[in-house]
């Protein structure tokens, strides 16, 4: 996996993600996309991408999350996702899981919220988008995972709801990645 390969696959990935956003009705909320995330299966691939992305941005965070390094790279030239501008990429070093495909894995959207828990965030989303009830109830082919990942130094609660379908994932949380990084200082 190289930077050029990621650049070449971005248009297809972004079109698929935008379609998934429409299916969830998340496009109606006009949320900001604070970053896109990659998946790699080897430390060598992660190190190679770290080196290549250093030519196209600045590492603004190198934090241990769930026992593995996760880098956040602020891009010099942001990527487009529909009307949204994405200025950060998340590059997690591999953990125990092996992915069937390396490359773009998910995007993360910021819902302006003061939610401290996943349940509160879920209720806020349901108030805004009642159509998500069937998805939360497990009545569709879309999987939902709620979690509260936290870096070693983070001080902000950032409950996260992930919607997954057919190899695509969209996560929704109340704080941007840059706000989380700022909370570490």
Neighbours of 185 (CB within 10 A): 6
> At a CB cut-off of 8 Å and minimum separation 6, what does 10 contact?
79, 104
Provide the Cα torsion 56, 61, 66, 69; round to 10°: 50
On the question of pLDDT at 154 being above 70, the answer is no
The partner residues of 37 in beta bridges, in order of sequence, read: 90, 106
Question: What is the rounded average pLDDT of the residues 159-185?
Answer: 91
Residue 71 · residue 59 · CB < 8 Å: yes
| Tokens of residue 113, six digits | 């919220």
- Residue 66: what pLDDT? 77
Q: What is the pLDDT of residues 78-98, one digit of tens each?
A: 999 999 999 999 999 998 888
- Residue 183: what pLDDT? 81
| Tokens of residue 17, six digits | 């993600």
Question: What is the rounded average pLDDT of the residues 160-180?
Answer: 93
Pairing of strands 103-110, 168-173: parallel
Provide the Cα torsion 150, 155, 157, 160; round to 10°: -40
Question: What is the rounded average pLDDT of the residues 54-63?
Answer: 94
Residue 129 · residue 163 · CB < 8 Å: no
- Between 52-61, 131-140, 147-156, the lowest mean confidence (pLDDT) is in 147-156
On the question of pLDDT at 156 being above 70, the answer is no
On the question of pLDDT at 108 being above 60, the answer is yes
Question: Is 180 buried (19+), middle (13-18) or exposed (0-12) by CB count in 10 A?
Answer: buried
Q: pTM (2 decimals)? A: 0.92
**Pairwise CA distance, residues 78 & 87, whole Å:** 4
**Band (39; pLDDT cuts 50, 70, 90):** very high
In the block, tokens 């770290």 appear at 50
- Residue 97: what pLDDT? 82
Question: What is the rounded average pLDDT of the residues 151-179?
Answer: 85
- Residue 153: what pLDDT? 55
């Amino acid at each position: 996996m190289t930077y050029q390969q990621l650049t070449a696959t971005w248009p297809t990935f972004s079109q698929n993600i935008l379609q998934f956003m429409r299916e969830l009705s998340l496009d109606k909320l006009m949320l900001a996309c604070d970053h896109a995330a990659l998946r790699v299966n080897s430390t060598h691939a992660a190190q190679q991408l770290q080196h290549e992305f250093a030519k196209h941005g600045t590492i603004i965070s190198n934090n241990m999350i769930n026992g593995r390094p996760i880098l956040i790279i602020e891009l010099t030239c942001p990527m487009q996702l529909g009307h949204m501008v994405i200025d950060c990429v998340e590059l997690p070093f591999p953990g125990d899981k092996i992915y069937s495909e390396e490359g773009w894995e998910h995007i993360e959207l910021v819902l302006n919220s003061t939610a401290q828990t996943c349940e509160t965030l879920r209720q806020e989303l349901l108030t805004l988008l009642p159509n998500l009830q069937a998805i939360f109830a497990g009545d569709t082919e879309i999987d939902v995972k709620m979690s509260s990942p936290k870096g070693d130094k983070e001080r902000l609660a950032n409950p996260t709801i992930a919607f997954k379908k057919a190899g695509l994932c969209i996560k929704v949380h109340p704080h941007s990645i840059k706000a989380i990084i700022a909370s570490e200082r």
